[in-house]
Amino acid sequence: MRAEPASRLTKTPALDDLLRAWGLRRAPFASDDKTNELFASATHREALSLLDTTAALRGVMMLTGSPGAGKSTLLKTWLAGLEPKRFLPLLITQSSLSATGVLEVLLAKLGERARFKRSTNLLLLEKHLADLEPVTLVLVLDDAQNYPGPALEELRLLLGLSGRHRSAFALIMLGDDYLLGSLRLSVQRALFSRISAATTLAPLPREDIAPYLDWHVSRAGLDRDIFAPAAVDLLAEASEGNPRTLGLLAQAAWLAAARQNTFTIEADHIHSALRQVPAANVKIIPN
């Protein structure tokens, strides 16, 4: 069988062409959104309130949720809104750090050069925090469930630096649903006992799915409903309310519809997306 000449092959429309045809400024449901906007469900609003209180009181907070629940997005929005005259946020993402590494990274992020001796580094940190007053350092650990025990113990000890009546800084730990259980273990009980607030980001409830989708579409430049009701039902069931999975499915379905030169996303487009996105609820994926 002879291959078709390249000139006869149907060319897939470029993304820019699809966006132009739909009147969109950018691809909807994009994961690389640089803004600090947030679709705030009830569980998000509760978490934001607890974050505010934790920072103000220099407490220790644990924010958990399944992968894709929106922990990092929520935190990015919250950090962007902190008053620079009151708070200095620092984010540590290297979850493989040792106890020594935690102290050294913290000093580096504060602009200090770590020394060889731990005692010297502790004095450096204590002086820097004293110089920051009345600004509160807000230390955020991402993927906290992956931190080794000695690193978490070092952070607990640093909270009591200088022996003041309140913690030396506020500590926010982000992690998956297993974080709380791991901190309950005897080796971490001392840190566990200092947690002043803990909350879990729940999946989006069914009634928030359509508004969440419309919010994303509006931010991409289009103010109209683009999902058929049956498509929304399928998205809600397939994503199980997980924002990341919902976004991946919705974007794949939009691309399927746009490439067919249609301007409403139907159930068939969702079925196409289900075959493409592994995180979708496998129980409803068609054969």
> Is there a single domain that holds both residue 67 and residue 53?
yes
Least confident of 83-87, 141-145, 158-162, 283-287: 283-287
> Is there a single domain that holds both residue 133 and residue 213?
no
Q: What is the mean pLDDT of residues 110-121?
A: 88
Q: What is the pTM of this model?
A: 0.86
> Is there a single domain that holds both residue 273 and residue 241?
yes
What is the average pLDDT score of the chain?
88
Nearest to 68 by CA among 118, 121, 31: 31
CA distance 55 to 53: 5
Residue 180 lies in a domain: yes
Kindly tell me if the per-residue pLDDT of 240 is higher than 60.
yes
Residue 26 lies in a domain: no
CB 67 within 8 A of CB 177: no
Residue 19 lies in a domain: no
CATH code for the domain of 170: 3.40.50.300
Residue 88 lies in a domain: yes
CB atoms within 10 A of CB 99: 19
> Is there a single domain that holds both residue 179 and residue 210?
no
> Is there a single domain that holds both residue 274 and residue 182?
no
> Is there a single domain that holds both residue 81 and residue 152?
yes
Bridge partners, residue 142, by sequence: none
3: pLDDT confidence band, cut at 50, 70 and 90?
low
pLDDT (0 to 100) of residue 266 = 94
Nearest to 132 by CA among 118, 111, 113: 111
Q: What is the mean pLDDT of residues 109-138?
A: 90
The residues, any chain, with a CB within 8 Å of residue 258's CB and separated by 6 or more, are 13, 18, 21, 22
34: pLDDT confidence band, cut at 50, 70 and 90?
low
Coil/strand/helix, residue 205: coil
pLDDT (0 to 100) of residue 140 = 96
> Is there a single domain that holds both residue 163 and residue 256?
no
pLDDT (0 to 100) of residue 236 = 96
CA distance 31 to 16: 17
Nearest to 198 by CA among 81, 80, 73, 53: 53
> Is there a single domain that holds both residue 83 and residue 54?
yes
Which of 200, 219, 237 marks a domain boundary?
200
Q: What is the mean pLDDT of residues 53-79?
A: 94
**Domain encompassing residue 84:** 42-200
> Is there a single domain that holds both residue 185 and residue 265?
no
Kindly tell me if the per-residue pLDDT of 231 is higher than 90.
yes
pLDDT (0 to 100) of residue 1 = 46
Which of 200, 235, 270 marks a domain boundary?
200
Residue 12 lies in a domain: no
